[in-house]
Amino acid sequence: MKVFNTVTELQRELKSLDKTIGFVPTMGAIHDGHLSLIKHAKKHAEVVVASIFVNPTQFNSKEDYDKYPRTIAVDSSKFAETDLDYLFIPSEGEIYPKKYDKEYDFQGLDEVMEGKYRPGHFKGVANVVFRLFEIVKPNYAFFGEKDYQQLLIIKKMVEQEKLDIEIISCPIIRENSGLAMSSRNLHLSEKARFEAAQIYKTLELVKQNYFFKSITELENMVKSEIAKQADWELEYFQIARNKDLQLTTDEEKSVSSRAFIVVRVENIRLIDNIVLN
């Protein structure tokens, strides 16, 4: 695995290859969820590039940005144990020699869930991914379904920019307990991390009952499950259509849908979702 810190050096190397490129952008604090994306990428492309960049423009608060885990040395050694060919760890100056703040028309995708609770977040995500694509020029890029809304946003950006890049979605990797792996789990106390497995158990309960209860009943069930945990805050729970994230109604339960949830545990936002049908 070769590590690059500058755009010029990375591009010089990639240009000389004449091979298909798979790309996995990350913000670091690498876990098995990230590593699974590398495995998927290896199956599709001749060489794989991953990046680590904690993007300031997608955070809503300076505090959240400052607090985001940064574990570059450990991350590099985790990547080095995989089949990853190139690791790109740029500075902010390399990514933003100028402002990248284009407004995209996400056609409502950015108005629900994460978009509603984190204003400006998806504009930051779309712009940094566009910038990374401009640098790496991949044939394929890999994103986790854990951030399902982000995946749809990126597909929209690629469509609007008319980029010739195939976006490939990869399933959610979980801890043995069922808790979705996340860099933010590092902030949880051991006790909270153990208890947080309840989030996925609640989603599984929704799935089991999906065709037997109304949407309102399912929502109430989730509220009471989450309320059992003292100090947890349910930021949102919603059942929405895969294709456009509009709310699924009782009449259209056969339309491909997922249940989406965000719970604050020890004030850490934990995000998860489950396929329902």
Distance of closest approach, residue 210 Cβ to ligand AMP, in angstroms: 22
Distance of closest approach, residue 161 Cβ to ligand AMP, in angstroms: 18
* Pairing label, strands 257-265, 268-275: antiparallel
Of 7 and 172, nearer to ligand AMP (C-beta) is 172
- Tell me how far apart the alpha carbons of residues 52 and 25 are, in angstroms, rounded to a whole number: 7
Which residues fall within 8 angstroms of residue 258, CB to CB, at 6 or more apart? 148, 239, 240, 242, 273, 274, 275, 276
Give the nearest residue (CB) to ligand AMP: 144
Q: Is 34 a catalytic residue?
A: yes
- Tell me how far apart the alpha carbons of residues 117 and 235 are, in angstroms, rounded to a whole number: 8
Of 125 and 206, nearer to ligand AMP (C-beta) is 125
Residue numbers of the site for ligand AMP (CB under 6 A)?
A: 26-27, 33-34, 36-37, 143-144, 146-147, 170, 172-173, 180-183
For residue 209, what are the CA distances in angstroms to 125, 174, 214, 218, 248? 34, 22, 9, 8, 15
The pair of structure tokens assigned to 267 is 């004030």
Of 149 and 218, nearer to ligand AMP (C-beta) is 149
> Cα Rg for the chain, rounded, in angstroms?
19
With 0-12 / 13-18 / 19 or more C-beta atoms within 10 angstroms meaning exposed / middle / buried, residue 254 is: exposed
Of 91 and 214, nearer to ligand AMP (C-beta) is 91
> Side by side, which strands form the sheet with 47-52?
2-4, 86-88, 47-52, 21-26, 140-144, 166-170
The partner residues of 274 in beta bridges, in order of sequence, read: 259
The partner residues of 96 in beta bridges, in order of sequence, read: none
Q: What angle do CA 119, 121, 127 make, to 5 degrees?
A: 135
Q: What is the DSSP letter of 174?
A: B
- Tell me how far apart the alpha carbons of residues 22 and 42 are, in angstroms, rounded to a whole number: 7
The single residue of 34, 40, 121, 187 carrying the catalytic annotation is: 34
Of 218 and 240, nearer to ligand AMP (C-beta) is 240
List, by residue number, the catalytic residues. 34
